[in-house]
C-alpha cells in the first residue's frame, strides 16, 4: 500500500477556530453520538505525557513526530501517514521530541464508541465471517500499528472535514464514514495478522496459506482457479472471501506483492528493469512501469535513484 508521505489531513478550518492555552497537548474536541475527534497541538518538547480514552481510539499523526509508549510494546515513532489503534482504558505515554512554537507537533485521536464498534463487527461477523477464525472480526482489542493506505487516509481526512464543518447533518455523514473506516481498519489488521504470523497460521488458515503460496510463486502467472484450489473453495467463494478479508482483490494483492518485491530488488541489486520485471511476474515491461508508478507515485528508475541517496 502507498504510504502517505506529505501531511495527510487538512485541518485549516480547525486552526481558524481552535484556542491555544497550553504549551503541551492543546486539545480541541469535536463530538457526535458515535465518536469524538480530538485534535492536539504541542508546542514544547515533552516526555511521558499520559493519555487514556474510554473507547477504542485511532491515533494518527498530522505533523511532526511523537514517540509512543504502550503497555507490552517497545517504544516506536509515530509519523505523518501512520496510525495506531489503542484499546479503551489503555494508558498511552507519549514523548514529543521535536515540538516547537514555530513548528508544533499536531496529531489526532478518533475515539469510537464501543456500541458503534460492536454494531459494525456484529454486521461483518453475520454477513462476511472470517474463514478459519473462531474469534471473528474484532476492533480495538489489542494495539495495532499501521501505515495509512490511500482509502484509510481519505476516510480519516473526510471525517476531519465532517467533524469541523458546521453542518446539522454531520452525525449522519460521520456515521456512514465511520462504518467504512472501522471495516477497512479491521481488514488491514486481519491481513497483517495473516501475513506476519507466517507458517504457523498458514497451516490452519486457508487464506494465510494462499497468501504464502502467492509470495512463493510471484515470478510466474497465477490464476484465480489455481488459488481457489489451494484454498479448497469454489472460484466465486474464494474471490469474495479473499476480498472481504484482505480488503482488496486477489489480483490487486498479487500486484501489490510484486511491486513490493520489485522495490526491494531495485534498492538491493543492480539488475536492469527488464530482468526485475520478469522476476516479479510481469511479462510486459511497459505494464510493470505503469503499475509501479501508480503504486509508488514515481517511476522505477526514480525509486532506485532515490534509494541510492538515502
Residue 66 φ/ψ, nearest 5 degrees: -135, 155
Question: What's the pLDDT tens digit per position in 186-226?
Answer: 999 999 888 886 667 788 899 999 999 999 999 999 999 99
Q: Looking at residue 2, what is its pLDDT?
A: 46
Q: In what order do the strands lie in the sheet with 82-86?
A: 26-31, 35-42, 105-112, 57-63, 82-86, 144-147
Q: What phi and psi values does residue 306 have, to the nearest 5 degrees?
A: -60, -40
Judge whether residue 85 has pLDDT over 90: yes
Distance CA(207)–CA(227), nearest Å, equals 9
> Is 51 in contact with 40 (CB distance < 8 Å)?
no
Q: What is the mean pLDDT of residues 229-244?
A: 96
**Beta carbons of 156 and 110 less than 8 angstroms apart:** yes
- Sign of dihedral through CA atoms 265, 303, 84, 96? positive
Calculate the alpha carbon distances from 85 to 95, 190, 191, 214, 251 in Å.
17, 13, 15, 28, 28
Q: Is the pLDDT of residue 14 over 80?
A: no
pLDDT tens digit sequence for 139-149: 999 999 999 99
pLDDT at res. 10: 73
Predicted pLDDT at 134: 86
Quickly tell me which residue has 520478469 as its cell.
Answer: 278
pLDDT band at residue 4 using 50, 70 and 90 as cut-offs: very low
Q: How high is the pLDDT of residue 116?
A: 95
Helices (H), strands (E): how many in the chain? 12, 10
Q: Phi and psi at residue 52, in whole multiples of 5°?
A: -140, 145
Buried b (16+ CB within 10 A) or exposed e, 171-197: eebbbebbbebbbbbbbbbbbeebbee
pLDDT, one tens digit per residue, over 270-304 is 999 999 999 999 999 999 999 999 999 999 999 99
> In whole numbers, what is the pLDDT of the chain averaged over residues?
90
d(Cα 250, Cα 222) in Å, to the nearest integer? 10
Report pLDDT for 24. Answer: 57
**What average pLDDT does range 222-232 have in this prediction?**
96
Do residues 143 and 78 touch, judged by C-beta distance below 8 A? no
pLDDT tens digit string along 19-35? 544 545 689 999 999 99
The grid coordinates of residue 3 equal 504510504
**What would the grid cell of residue 94 be?**
507519549
CA distances to 36, 210, 211, 243 from 224, rounded to whole Å, are 42, 11, 12, 12
Mean local confidence (pLDDT), 57-68:
96
Note the pTM of the prediction, 2 decimals.
Answer: 0.83
Does 5 have pLDDT greater than 50? Answer: no
Contact between residue 124 and residue 183 where contact means Cβ atoms under 8 Å apart: yes
Amino acid at each position: 500500500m502507498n504510504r502517505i508521505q506529505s501531511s495527510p489531513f487538512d485541518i485549516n478550518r480547525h486552526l481558524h477556530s481552535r484556542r491555544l492555552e497550553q504549551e503541551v497537548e492543546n486539545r480541541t474536541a469535536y463530538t457526535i453520538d458515535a465518536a469524538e475527534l480530538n485534535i492536539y497541538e504541542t508546542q514544547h518538547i515533552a516526555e511521558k505525557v499520559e493519555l487514556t480514552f474510554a473507547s477504542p481510539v485511532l491515533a494518527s499523526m498530522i505533523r511532526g513526530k511523537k514517540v509512543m509508549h504502550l503497555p507490552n510494546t517497545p517504544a516506536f515513532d509515530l509519523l505523518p501517514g501512520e496510525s495506531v489503534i489503542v484499546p479503551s482504558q489503555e494508558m498511552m505515554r507519549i514523548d514529543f521530541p521535536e515540538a516547537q512554537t514555530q513548528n508544533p507537533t499536531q496529531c489526532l485521536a478518533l475515539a469510537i464508541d464501543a456500541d458503534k464498534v460492536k454494531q459494525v463487527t456484529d454486521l461483518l461477523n453475520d454477513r462476511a465471517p472470517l474463514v478459519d477464525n473462531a474469534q471473528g472480526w474484532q476492533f480495538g482489542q489489542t494495539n495495532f500499528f499501521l501505515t495509512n493506505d490511500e482509502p484509510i487516509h481519505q476516510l480519516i481526512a473526510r471525517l476531519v472535514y465532517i467533524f469541523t464543518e458546521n453542518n446539522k447533518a454531520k452525525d449522519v455523514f460521520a456515521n456512514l464514514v465511520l462504518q467504512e473506516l472501522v471495516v477497512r481498519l479491521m481488514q488491514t489488521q486481519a491481513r497483517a495478522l495473516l501475513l506476519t504470523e507466517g507458517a504457523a497460521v498458514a497451516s490452519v488458515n486457508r487464506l494465510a496459506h494462499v497468501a504464502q503460496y502467492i509470495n512463493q510463486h510471484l515470478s510466474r502467472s497465477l490464476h484465480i482457479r489455481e488459488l481457489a484450489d489451494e484454498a479448497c473453495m469454489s472460484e466465486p467463494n474464494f474471490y469474495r472471501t479473499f476480498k472481504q478479508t484482505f480488503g482488496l482483490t486477489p489480483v490487486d494483492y498479487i500486484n501489490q506483492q510484486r511491486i513490493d518485491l520489485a522495490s526491494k530488488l531495485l534498492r538491493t541489486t543492480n539488475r536492469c528493469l527488464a530482468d526485475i520485471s520478469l522476476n516479479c511476474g510481469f511479462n510486459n515491461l511497459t505494464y510493470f512501469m505503469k503499475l509501479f508508478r501508480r503504486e509508488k507515485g514515481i517511476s522505477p528508475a526514480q525509486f532506485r535513484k532515490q534509494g541510492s541517496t538515502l
